[in-house]
Amino acid sequence: MTEPAIDELIEAAISGNATDPFAFLGMHQHEETGAVEVRVMLPGAAGVAVLERESRKLRTTLQRVHADGFFAGVVIDAKKPFAYLLEITEADGTRRVTEDAFRFGPLLGEIDRHLLAEGNHWEIHKKLGCHLMAVDGVSGAHFAVWAPNAKRVSVVGSFNNWDGRRHPMRLHPGCGMWEIFVPEVALGDIYKFEILHRDGYLLPLKADPLAFQAQCPPATASVVADTTPFIWDDDDWMAKRAERGRIDQPISVYEVHLGSWRRDPDQPSRFLTYRELAELLVPYVKRMGFTHIELMPINEFPFYGSWGYQPISLFAPTARYGSLHDFKAFIEACHRAEIGVILDWVPGHFPSDSHGLAQFDGTHLYEHQDSRQGFHPEWNTLIYNYGRNEVSNFLINNALFWCERFHIDGLRVDAVASMLYLDYARKDGEWIPNEYGDNKNLEAIAFLRNMNEQLHERCPGVITIAEESTSWPAISRPVKRGGLGFDYKWNMGWMHDTLGYMKKDPIHRRYHHHGMTFGLVYAFAENFMLPLSHDEVVHMKGSLIGRMPGDTWQQFANLRAYYGFMWTHPGKKLLFMGGEFGQGREWNHDESLDWHQLDIHWHQGIHRLVADLNQVYQDTPALFQMDCEQDGFQWVKVDNKDESVFAFVRKGLRGAPPVLVICNFTPLPRGDWRFGVPQAGYYEEIINTDLEHYGGSNVNNLPGVTAEATPWDGLSHSVVVTLPPLSTLIFRMKSE
């Protein structure tokens, strides 16, 4: 190496422009002279000596080549490179002995690099990011990141004074990955990546896209986490969870925002921790009879007001509620209580915060370059480039990560419609048609299909649920049958139509009868879940109870009747927290739910009803076994517009007792009404939303009614019942 070349490399190291640091820093043997030379960049050091690693014998003292901290020297008596240590004298005169990061070779293997470049590596979270490990008996951390267009990438953090000149990384040009093993990095250290744009200027410091842990916002650094596999105590649940998510099983989901479900009453601004939630939320959900908890996004996110739907660190549970092990303990508590856990997952967009994925290496790496594809006008966020193999691989790995590492039982995929349509929320001229000239996002379709196939193959029993609001066909059909591969789809049309009906004054409901019946026209086109989610109690929509018409008695009667209709309608169930006791005000993410309302008998009645509906639902196969099949449902009265009365039969498999459901959506009680039933027998009144126990007027048919051999409503037998006002009745044929 000629002197001018050395001078240029020294200048590059000092200025932070070293693009191939491992070729220059560390110990090297001169090709021509055979001399062994050591070069280090240690800003702030007063002196550096080279010691033999085993004996700690002094081999040479390095000379300060530049005042900014570049040291170099020849080990005169060395015939070849050897294992060494650096003894550093700090400016205050203290000394410390440490390893040199530049003596360690690459750790990313050839196969890993090949699969990463190809976009088919299904365990990238085990290779990229930060992993504590020992190399050659030396403890430290391995850092790796994808930034193919960067001129230089350094890891900076609490262990190197956030100085990018200390630990510039090694580039693997074929796959665009940078890596370095840094000795002595420890659990809890914080770090980011310092990236030099190819045009020579520094980008804002970037959080690690694959960090397992992040600082609690508003801090933005990544945290060195424990990446060793967890030791789990949920074998019983994992062995049978595949049964719990099947379409012939009851699924009743309680949707939760962890930060506002409940707060510490003595410190209203303090979040409950994952472990406190395990002690309070889990037994509550169990008592209420829900089968699953759905968590609004808990991937680390900077803006609390986004509720998690604008995540930054997709692989890190938010630190707002505790540590990785705390979150794992919460999942275990759910599983011990036989409650599944579903995560809201957001692969549709990400925020443009400077420390995140936006222009990660100075280019549009994760997002589309063209704003007509890469910018989301509705949410002011960026859209992933699904056509880039590495990006698709990153997202699918994230889905696998949650289900494999944290034993998550399902993913509810947010905003699927925004992914499927190129013109979503865009005007003419603001979007780019696909190669066939239409508005289908072919790359997003391929990504969703691949994600579902990989997840179902690698994590048997995990379910996926699409939040999709259009008539896109076959969303919940297998990929091999031309579908997108989801297990379930949120039935947004049902939610919109039925809530629209319930808002009407009962005197006007006769003109909107179709709002309650139209959903059955398409109810079996998909595997549906009926959602009354957080979206229905925000943005000035008010609470569910607040949308019901009439005086207080009628409002609560309407909501009870509506819940009875929902729990008996074909489709799995989802209810957002607070709905189970009829919270009176719109949800506020900055405050606890209004638990004090449970001191009021109206709210107590709703609370008891939801728990009883969940219990009856799970105990009654006719209400869930054929949820997704036409043969499991039969209208009894569908066109009684003037009285706003609906009746239908639900049927199960293998001779399960049938169920008759009757809804009266007017405040008038009606006596001696005859309804058809499919067979003879005694029909027990197992739910009556008008019972005094629930806050109603107690008009009832207890304990039940006997079917007569009088054909009615096209059925062979019939029963005569009294209809309470604003109510839903559930009759189950009693088994012999």
Tokens at residue 149, please?
A: 């267009």
Statement: residue 87 has pLDDT above 80: yes
Least confident of 75-84, 134-143, 354-363, 491-500: 75-84
From the CB of residue 598, how many other CB atoms can be counted at a distance below 10 Å? 15
Statement: residue 367 has pLDDT above 60: yes
Cβ contacts of 428 within 8 Å, gap of 6 or more: none
Cα 617 off chain centre by: 27
Catalytically annotated residue among 194, 208, 361, 414: 414
Helices (H), strands (E): how many in the chain? 13, 38
- Distance from first CA to last CA of the chain, Å, rounded? 95
User: What's the CA gap between 607 and 579, in Å, rounded?
Assistant: 9
User: What's the CA gap between 413 and 420, in Å, rounded?
Assistant: 12
Whether the model pTM is above 0.85: yes
User: What's the CA gap between 281 and 422, in Å, rounded?
Assistant: 40
4 confidence band (pLDDT: 50, 70, 90): very low
Q: Domains in the chain, ordered, with CATH?
A: 3-103 (2.60.40.10), 110-223 (2.60.40.10), 250-621 (3.20.20.80), 630-733 (2.60.40.1180)
User: What's the CA gap between 688 and 636, in Å, rounded?
Assistant: 18
Q: How is 420-472 classified by DSSP, letter by letter?
A: HBTTTT--TTSS---TTSSSB-HHHHHHHHHHHHHHHHHSTT-EEEE---S--
User: What's the CA gap between 118 and 113, in Å, rounded?
Assistant: 8
CA distances from 557 to 390, 499, 547, 731 (A): 53, 15, 12, 19
Is residue 639 classed as helix, strand or coil in its secondary structure?
A: strand
Half-sphere exposure at residue 502, Cβ-oriented, CA atoms within 13 angstroms: 28
Closest CA to 720 of 688, 667, 683, 693: 683
Average pLDDT taken over every residue of the chain: 95
**Burial letters for 658-686: b for 16+ Cβ neighbours within 10 Å, e otherwise?**
bbbbbbbbbbeebeebebbbbeebbbbbb
Cβ contacts of 426 within 8 Å, gap of 6 or more: 372, 377
Longest CA–CA separation in the chain, Å: 109
Q: How is 212-224 classified by DSSP, letter by letter?
A: SEEPPTT---EE-
CA distances from 95 to 44, 47, 55, 70, 99 (A): 13, 9, 18, 18, 13
pLDDT tens per residue, range 430-465: 999 999 999 999 999 999 999 999 999 999 999 999
Q: How is 302-339 classified by DSSP, letter by letter?
A: S-GGGTTSS-SEEEEE-GGG--HHHHHHHHHHHHHTT-
Closest CA to 253 of 536, 567, 650: 567
Residue 467 annotated as catalytic: yes
pLDDT at 2: 47
CB 305 within 8 A of CB 589: yes
Catalytically annotated residue among 467, 468, 685, 690: 467
CB 214 within 8 A of CB 313: yes
pLDDT at 16: 82
Percent above pLDDT 90 for the chain: 90
735 confidence band (pLDDT: 50, 70, 90): confident
Beta-bridged to residue 681, according to DSSP, are none
pLDDT at 174: 85
7 confidence band (pLDDT: 50, 70, 90): confident
User: What's the CA gap between 676 and 687, in Å, rounded?
Assistant: 18
pLDDT at 163: 95
CA distances from 489 to 146, 463, 475, 625 (A): 34, 11, 7, 17
Least confident of 99-103, 110-114, 488-492, 523-527: 110-114
pLDDT at 552: 97
pLDDT at 539: 85
C-alpha dihedral (314, 317, 323, 324), degrees to nearest 10: -80
From the CB of residue 599, how many other CB atoms can be counted at a distance below 10 Å? 8
pLDDT tens per residue, range 539-553: 888 999 999 999 999
266 confidence band (pLDDT: 50, 70, 90): confident
Beta-bridged to residue 637, according to DSSP, are 647
Half-sphere exposure at residue 50, Cβ-oriented, CA atoms within 13 angstroms: 26
CB 466 within 8 A of CB 484: yes
pLDDT at 119: 83
205 confidence band (pLDDT: 50, 70, 90): very high
Residue 208 annotated as catalytic: no
Statement: residue 1 has pLDDT above 60: no
pLDDT tens per residue, range 396-439: 999 999 999 999 999 999 999 999 999 999 999 899 999 999 99
pLDDT at 5: 67
